[in-house]
Chains A and B, each alone.
Chain A
Amino acid sequence: MITFESVTKRYAGGTIAVDDLNLEIPDGKTMVLVGPSGCGKTTTLRMINRLIEPTEGRILLDGQDVSQTRASQLRRGIGYVIQQTGLFPHRTIEDNIATVPLLNGWHKAKARARARELMDLVGLDQDMGRRYPYQLSGGQQQRVGVARALAADPPVLLMDEPFSAVDPIVRATLQDELTRLQGELHKTVVLVTHDVEEAIKVGDVVAVWYPHGKIAQIDTPERLLGAPADDYVENFLGFDRGIRRLAFFAAAGLDLETETVLSADVTVELARQAAKRAGASWVLVTSAEGQPRGWAALTELESASGGGTLGQLTLAPYGHTFRVGEDSLRAALDATVLSRTGLAVGVDGEGRAVGVTSYERLRAAIHGAEEAADHEGARAS
């Protein structure tokens, strides 16, 4: 647990970077500090490992005032990742990662073995161990940065805009990797970013900052999107927060249409009846194993001979699918919007069609999920 007790940072000249901050950062969670530049989020982060000293107030790490620990000692127990990686250009990847273990007096062989372990952990090829940082891509360098911060297995990891300097595709991968790592390691992570999407994606808890040193709201990403504390937060989150919030609701809550999912060897006549019973204008045709093959339109069914099978018809492409067990309502909605038929296919882990969506069914699921979340939120607060 990291605790800020009435912490203020005032610079010479009177600029207040952080204004009377009280904040508790829970153990084993990812807390994201997000806000415009100059809001005090980075200053806050750097006060934890004493790169910046507060003007007033105390910062406690597990109940211990950080100013009472020798700075270099304190820092070796806190991982630190920065945007420009700050890798040592003159040291190999292996030695870069082994930096803190070596500072702690480990033998070189043991430290290097640890470095290789970490390269595995962050998804780097061990062959890269002997290379120098400039020989790696930006994304790989950032992985090295994370590995280096984790080398001495510190309980706390500070990340200052760690993914801002890489391209969007690499950034998304690194964000996913961080979520995966955190699922294994359960570090206390404090991550600073100006990217609200990133905050919502990787944070367990998100603190949104006003422009000048104060926090506007601290909440889970879902609650933040569902109930912004004020206009500032709402604006900061962006215009489509309603849709983005759906990312936190499981698609499993959708009541899918299963009647109109039919195997290719079913007769046209039976399909016609099923479509009419369901009031649907499309049926989904699947292979015998259940894999989706395409859509058959009701008009097509009516003009075809009733004795033939669905497999003989010309099918429209089945379009986008979503995984019922893993994806969110946002993915289901997205697949539905992208689908030419206005219907999307929900599949199971093996890719077999489970059922199809419709806007009506989505609406019902979204409504139900939001109601449940608001109820939960009201109870929590």
Chain B
Amino acid sequence: MSWAWANRDLIGHYLVQHLYLALVPVLFGIVVSIPVGIMCVRYRWTWPPILSLTSIFYALPSLALYLVLIDYTGLTDWTVIIPLTLFSLSVLIPSVVDGLRSVPQPVRQAATAMGFGALRLTVRVELPLAIPVIFAGLRVATVASISLVSVGQLIGIGGLGYFFTDGEQRDFTTEIYVALILIVILAFLADGLLVLARRWLTPWERGRSARDRRRVFSAAFHGSRAEGST
């Protein structure tokens, strides 16, 4: 602990970098996945190819990607941010699609029959109702992203991952443990904040049983992948 206190500035620096490298890809991911998800639901034929693409993103070893990208983006943050963005897309696009599809058909029909146009229907009805499923995906993407950043350390840009290689080289396990614990704490905090945000955004879900919510949650993970594999 005394080591951590003595190096608090260094730890702080890498902590900020870590958060930056982890969260920017998720932010890009959400900005891209919402319109793409809407498109996949509206034009059904676009969904199978995009689902395949997200599966490839998901399976792609990020290390390989770093090494490829390094020729183009060099030793910049982008070399880490781009692979992580692709990874977060692989989780978020299926979540958005599942979320939009989870909107009950009668709700959609009633809205149309009351005179909602397509855009208004999506923005005012479908997206708000998709929030629980989208947030389930967002939690997975965020936690995964926070843990994956440290892999970037192999090209020297890895946030708290710095302490893993540094500790290993100096044979000093304390700093490895400190970084590890900090990453886990970050992941927990981010996850908790997302849960709070989801609750705040969906006041209509508050009284519902936990079972209902678990159903939504598991749909977010298994829905599209199961569908894609059949």
Residues on A lying within 8 angstroms of B by beta carbon are 49, 51, 71-76, 78, 80, 82-91, 99-100, 103, 132, 134-135, 148, 158
CB-contacts of B169-217 with A (<8 A): 202-204, 207-208
Q: State the Cβ distance, B206 to closest chain A Cβ, in Å.
A: 9
The main secondary structure of chain A at its interface with chain B is mixed
Main secondary structure of the interface of B (DSSP, over half): helix
Report whether A86 and B204 are in contact in the complex, using a CB–CB cutoff of 8 Å: no
Residue pair B107, A88 in contact (C-beta under 8 Å): yes
Nearest-neighbor residue (CB-CB) of A75 within chain B:
B115
Query: Closest approach, in angstroms, between the C-beta of B105 and any C-beta of chain A?
Result: 8
Residues from chain A with a CB closer than 8 A to the CB of B117 are 72
B223 at the interface (CB under 8 A from A): no
Residues in chain B near residue A74, CB distance under 8 A? 115
Q: Say whether B114 contacts A99, CB under 8 Å.
A: yes
- The answer to whether B204 touches A51, judged by C-beta atoms less than 8 angstroms apart, is no
**A-B complex: 4 closest residue pairs judged by Cβ atoms:** A86-B110, A76-B115, A84-B106, A86-B106
List A contacts of B208 (CB < 8 A): 134
Q: A290 to B108: give the CA distance in the assembly, Å.
A: 58
Q: Are B111 and A86 in contact (CB under 8 A)?
A: yes
Query: Which of B108, B114, B129, B207 contacts A76, CB < 8 Å?
Result: B114
Q: List 6 A-B contacts (CB under 8 A).
A: A74-B115, A78-B113, A80-B110, A99-B114, A132-B203, A158-B113
Partner of B109, one of A73, A82, A90, A91: A82
Partner of A88, one of B109, B111, B202, B207: B111
0/1 string, B110-133, CB within 8 A of A gives 1: 111111110000000100110000
Q: How large is the interface on B (under 10, 10 to 19, 20 to 34, 35 or more residues)?
A: 20 to 34
CB distance from B215 to the nearest CB of A (A): 14
Alpha-carbon distance A82/B115, docked complex (angstroms): 15
19 A-B pairs besides A76-B114, A76-B115 with CB distance below 8 A are A49-B113, A74-B115, A75-B112, A75-B113, A75-B114, A75-B115, A85-B106, A86-B111, A86-B113, A87-B110, A88-B110, A90-B125, A90-B128, A103-B116, A132-B203, A132-B204, A134-B204, A134-B207, A134-B208
Inter-chain contact A51/B106, CB cutoff 8 Å = no
**B104 adjacent to chain A (CB < 8 Å):** yes
Q: Which residues of B contact A158 (CB under 8 A)?
A: 113
- List B residues at the A interface (Cβ < 8 Å): 104, 106-117, 125, 128-129, 202-204, 207-208
- Shortest CB–CB separation between residue A240 and chain B, in angstroms? 34
From residue A378, how far is it (CB to closest CB) to chain B in Å? 42
| A67, B204: Cα distance in complex, Å | 37
- What chain B residues lie within 8 Å of A85 (beta carbons)? 106, 110
| Complex CA distance for A80 and B114, rounded to whole angstroms | 7
- Take A84-B104, A84-B106 as given contacts and tell me if A89 and B204 are in contact as well, using a CB distance cutoff of 8 Å: yes
Contacts of B129 on A, CB cut-off 8 Å?
A: 89-90
CB-defined contacts of A49 to chain B, threshold 8 Å: 113
Max count, chain B CB within 10 A of own CB: residue among A71, A86, A100, A132? A86
Q: How many angstroms between the C-alpha atoms of A85 and B109 in the bound complex?
A: 10
Asked whether A90 lies within 8 Å of B202 as measured between CB atoms, the reply is yes
Residue of B nearest to A49 (CB): B113
Shortest Cβ distance from residue A146 to the other chain B in the assembled complex, whole angstroms: 12
Contacting residue for B114 out of A90, A100, A134, A135, CB 8 A: A100
Residues of chain A lying within 8 A (CB to CB) of residue B112? 51, 75
Q: How far is the CB of A145 from chain B (nearest CB, A)?
A: 8
A86 touches B109 (CB 8 A): yes
A74 to B104, CA, bound (A): 24
Instruction: Give chain A residues whose Cβ lies under 8 Å from the Cβ of B116.
Output: 72, 103
Check A88/B125 contact, CB under 8 A, given A76-B115, A100-B115: yes
Q: How distant is B127 from chain A, measured CB to nearest CB, in Å?
A: 10
Best-surrounded residue of B107, B115, B125, B129 (most CB of chain A within 10 A): B115
Instruction: Give every chain B residue within 8 A of A91 (Cβ-Cβ).
Output: 204
Q: Which residues in A have their C-beta under 8 angstroms from that of B111?
A: 86, 88
B207 cross-chain contacts in A, Cβ below 8 A: 132, 134-135
Give the docked Cα–Cα distance between A302 and B106 (Å). 69
Decide: B110 and A90 in contact? CB cutoff 8 A.
no
Chain A residues with CB under 8 Å of B109's CB are: 51, 82, 86
Contacts of B115 in A (CB 8 A): 71-76, 100, 103
> Residue among A71, A76, A89, A134 with the most chain B CB within 10 A?
A89
